[in-house]
Amino acid sequence: MNGSFSGELKVVPVSPLNAPGLMTARGWDTLRGAASVALSCAHPAWEAHVREAGIECVRLESASAHELARSVGAWLEDSDGCPGGYLAWLCDSEHPHLPSPIETIGALEEASGGPIDADYVFASPVAPGAAVVESVRIMHELRSPGGDPWSAAQTHGSLSRYLLEETHEVLAELEREPIRTSELVDEFGDLLFQLVFHARIGMEEAEPWTLDSVARSLNAKMYRRNPHVFGPEREDLSIEEITARWDRIKSQEKPRRALAEGIPLALPALQRAFKIAARAQAAGREEELRAVVENSASNGSIASRIMAIVLEAAARDEDPESALRALVARVEAQLARD
């Protein structure tokens, strides 16, 4: 920018976390009232939305910080003195590789040796869940042609070990005392990435599905299984009553022909035994299970004694896997201090 800008500039930052075109009425009115509109939003759909609204605009080059500053400066110089009032610059409020709009204007002021009369019109509040939408967009770009070759080569099967690893890393953080918030958030992010990744692969299947499909399935399930909250009338129930109703509704949705049906074979043996024991007790078949265990294992064997402890844990609604893992962690910590 060779000279100072003497006109009025309205900067309209929009969040890249929101869908293109999502802007307040004030933002659209600002663009419509401008003598000239320029945009540098990374998402190409923004230009289409602006033009569909009947607003002519200039697309600014923004491949780098230098190029963005140069193109904004050139546009301001070319439009300075333009009849009809102020200029409007539609831009991303944040970008992983570019300076903020305020920093860009500051660089132009320093280069021109004079102030720029800039008014910021924040017209794109970030909607709840927008960051998750951005995660989906990032994964889509990684998986698409021209993206990341490693991501493109993955399948549900090749990713399964990472899903298990990330789950255990989350559990490790949850069991720390005290919990380290930033580390826990980071590990949950890695786990979320696995869900987003699998959903992106799901888009390519014969029966496509997306993360929205997963969320809709979850939402419908929550509505069905929590009628005390989402039903016509709220009910004041005990936790035991809520749990019993949940199990009853679940059994109606997914009737089981066998006690162990639906319990993943990949579960650790202790967790699998606990789920079978809990189901047996809920169905009034605890004694039947005890008899089967006695017939299937040598009396007094390690396995039968472990199963007896599992049955006791189920009666107390205590997960033996979690209890043992917590004890081992305390033992390790104590041994490390000795």
Q: Read off the pLDDT of residues 187-242 as tens digits, 9 standing for 90 and up.
A: 999 999 999 999 999 999 999 999 999 999 999 999 999 999 999 888 999 999 99
Number of other CB atoms surrounding residue 261 within 10 Å: 10
Give the predicted TM-score (pTM) of the model. Answer: 0.71
Residue 93 lies in a domain: yes
Assess whether 113 and 156 both reside in one domain.
Answer: no
Q: What is the pLDDT of residue 318?
A: 92
pLDDT over 90 (residue 18): no
The pLDDT value given to residue 249: 94
- Cα torsion at 48, 51, 56, 62 (round to 10°)? -10
Evaluate whether residue 236 is within a structural domain.
no
> What's the pLDDT tens digit per position in 122-173?
988 877 888 898 899 899 999 999 999 999 999 999 999 999 999 999 998 9
The pLDDT value recorded for residue 259 is: 84
Burial class (CB in 10 A: 0-12, 13-18, 19+), 176: exposed
Q: For residue 329, give every residue at least 6 positions away whose Cβ sits within 8 Å of its Cβ, in sequence order, or none.
A: 175
The answer as to whether 238 is a domain residue is no
Task: Quote the distance between the C-alpha of residue 331 and its chain's center.
Answer: 35
Q: Using pLDDT thresholds of 50, 70 and 90, give the confidence band for residue 4.
A: low
Residue 1 has pLDDT above 70, yes or no: no
pLDDT at residue 299, rounded to an integer: 64
* Pair (97, 145) in one structural domain: no
Same domain, 106 and 181: no
φ, ψ at 61 (rounded to 5°): -75, 135
Are 114 and 143 contained in the same domain?
no
- pLDDT for the residue numbered 51: 96
Query: Vertex 208, ends 205 and 209: CA angle to 5°?
Result: 120
Mean of per-residue pLDDT scores for the chain: 90
**113-123: burial string, b at 16+ Cβ within 10 Å, e else:** eeebebeebeb
Q: Is the pLDDT of residue 300 over 80?
A: no
Upstream peptide bond of 178 is cis (omega within 30 degrees of 0): yes
In this prediction, residue 149 carries a pLDDT of: 97
Are residues 183 and 87 located together in one domain of the fold? no
- Whether residue 26 sits in one domain with residue 109: yes
Of the chain, the percentage scoring pLDDT greater than 70 comes to 97
Return the percentage of the chain with pLDDT > 90, whole number.
Answer: 55
Lookup result for tokens 């992983």: 96
Helix residue ranges, H only, 20-155: 25-32, 45-52, 65-79, 101-112, 130-143, 149-153
User: Reduced to 3 DSSP states, what percent helix, strand and coil does the chain have, rounded to the nearest 5?
Assistant: 55, 5, 35
Range of the domain at 77: 8-120
